[in-house]
Amino acid sequence: MKWDGFSPESLHFLLNSPTIRMACNLLPKLCKLDHATSEMGMTELRRGLENPLEFVELITALRGVLAGYGLTFSVSNDMNAFNRTKLECRQIEAAPMFNPAYCQLDGKAFWVRVANEANETVGLNAYRLDYIDTNLADWATGWMAGLYMKSGKLMVPKALLPPPGSRAGRLSGWLCYHGELWVGKSHRGTREVNESMTFAGHLLAMLKWNPDALWALVVHRIGVRGTGIQNGYPYAERSFLRWEWHPEDIPDNEWLLVAERHEMEHAVYERLEAGLMAIRD
């Protein structure tokens, strides 16, 4: 009796041949390698930016806006230098998420500095990349509480997960966290400076890492003002993180801001077509 064109004898020979056995032993290893490579974002199937040149053009234009105010825009991967700069400007150390004393940041973080003509720092921003294999809703609370505990500060959540329906439940993969946004008093009321510095930082993060999404946390009073939209985040969500115990500089209720890759691509196209500060309209 034959099966699918093969005799029992030929099937026995094939299944016991050294080549087939070697392939069967190797296949799980190849699958693991492909999975690991996929996690590193290096497979050929990983989607790139549709319009990278437009990202570069917009960064150049935003730097031009800052130059019109006598300001220079610079970028650095040295997070120890960031900690020193923040201490000089604000007399507080960098948050644990951006502090090399509490986490490994080599190759996965950078910061943005805006300086005036006297080389005084008037603006700061920082970004870091993390791979999340579950989802942001499951991951964020433990990640933040753990980093603050490393710095000797206790954080106890009121809830382990955000409210049902949170977009964070479907965000996973390579996610870029944005924080440490600060503008000095001399330019704090100048909306173009704030927006240009922040959005240019977003664009650099997209070009540098091609993450699946950018995300940030803000206090309630910032969330209700729509500042997230002005700074390039089309999505804002109340009560993402809620804390029972927390340091003084952390609110008990934190909003989530999100800009996924396709939303960033749309924002770049829209700003180039309608004008850099189209949000004003």
Mean pLDDT of 251-277: 89
CB atoms under 10 Å from CB of 274, counted, come to 11
Provide the pLDDT for residue 251.
87
One domain, residues 97 and 129: yes
pLDDT digits (tens, 9 = 90+) for 42-92: 444 567 888 899 999 999 999 999 999 999 999 999 999 999 999 999 999
Give start and end residues of each alpha helix (H) in the chain. Answer: 8-15, 18-39, 52-67, 79-90, 136-150, 191-209, 220-223, 227-230, 261-274
One domain, residues 13 and 115: no
Tell how far CA 207 is from the center of its chain: 12
Q: To which H or E segment does residue 174 belong? A: strand 173-183
**Distance of alpha carbon 162 from alpha carbon 177, whole angstroms:** 17
Residue 98 has pLDDT above 70, yes or no: yes
The larger pLDDT score, comparing residue 76 to residue 28, is at 76
One domain, residues 116 and 197: yes
CATH of the domain at 132: 3.40.630.30
Provide the pLDDT for residue 276.
63
Mean pLDDT of 162-167: 93
Q: Lowest-confidence range among 16-30, 170-184, 200-214?
A: 16-30
**pLDDT mean across residues, the chain:** 84
Main-chain dihedrals φ then ψ at residue 58, nearest 5 degrees = -70, -40
One domain, residues 18 and 103: no
Residue 38 has pLDDT above 90, yes or no: no
One domain, residues 112 and 249: yes
Confidence of residue 171 (pLDDT cuts 50, 70, 90): very high
Provide the pLDDT for residue 9.
52
Residue 114 has pLDDT above 70, yes or no: yes
Confidence of residue 278 (pLDDT cuts 50, 70, 90): very low
Mean pLDDT of 171-190: 94
CB atoms under 10 Å from CB of 30, counted, come to 10
One domain, residues 124 and 25: no
Residue 125 has pLDDT above 80, yes or no: yes
The larger pLDDT score, comparing residue 133 to residue 36, is at 133
Domain tally, the chain? 2
One domain, residues 20 and 64: no
The larger pLDDT score, comparing residue 86 to residue 274, is at 86
Residue 279 has pLDDT above 60, yes or no: no
Provide the pLDDT for residue 277.
57
One domain, residues 31 and 147: no
One domain, residues 42 and 55: no
Q: Which amino acid is at 219?
A: V
One domain, residues 235 and 189: yes
Confidence of residue 230 (pLDDT cuts 50, 70, 90): confident
Mean pLDDT of 140-161: 92
Provide the pLDDT for residue 116.
96
Q: Lowest-confidence range among 28-37, 169-178, 211-220, 244-253?
A: 28-37
Provide the pLDDT for residue 281.
43
List the domain range (segments joined by +) for residue 26.
1-46
Provide the pLDDT for residue 48.
85
Provide the pLDDT for residue 33.
35
Q: Lowest-confidence range among 163-167, 214-218, 240-244, 275-279?
A: 275-279
Mean pLDDT of 103-111: 95
One domain, residues 28 and 118: no
One domain, residues 7 and 87: no
Q: Which amino acid is at 73?
A: F
